Amino acid sequence: MNAVLSKIAKGITVCSSEVFPNSDDDYFNFVYIGKIFLVADSYCMNPDCSCEETVLNFVQVYPREDRKPNSFIIRYKLSGRGYKIHDHGNFTRREIKAVVRYFTADEIILDLLNERYKEMKEKAKEIIS
């Protein structure tokens, strides 16, 4: 947990799987037009911050091919009202928009991201105290 505490102090987002490593749902995964994606969700753990955002790292994987994964990173508003692209990878804005829209189309994902946000904030309070 020292690494997590250091990230909190530096204002760096922390991946939920780093705080809750025994979880069966460390990463999200889905298939979009035949492409396999893994999504890692990270959160600001400063208990005084009310940013209500998550950083989502979308990684396109190629399990049967000898290719390196391709990825992009966004900062997604947990209200569901937009995002900011932080790293395009080899994706166009249009491709990113389509993938993000597909991933967030089901309200269950938004509910789950909000739940994880709250869990991460509670864990931060626990770590700091």
Q: Over 60: is that where the pLDDT of 27 sits?
A: yes
40 phi-psi bin (left φ>0, alpha ψ -120 to 50, beta other)? beta
pTM for this predicted structure: 0.91
Alpha carbon distance 86, 6 (integer Å)? 22
Q: How confident is the model at residue 1 (pLDDT cuts 50, 70, 90)?
A: low
Percent above pLDDT 70 for the chain: 98
The tokens for 18 are 């780093």
Domain that holds residue 37: 2-128
48-98 residue pLDDT tens: 888 999 999 999 998 777 788 899 999 999 999 999 999 999 999 999 999
Report the number of distinct structural domains present in the chain. 1
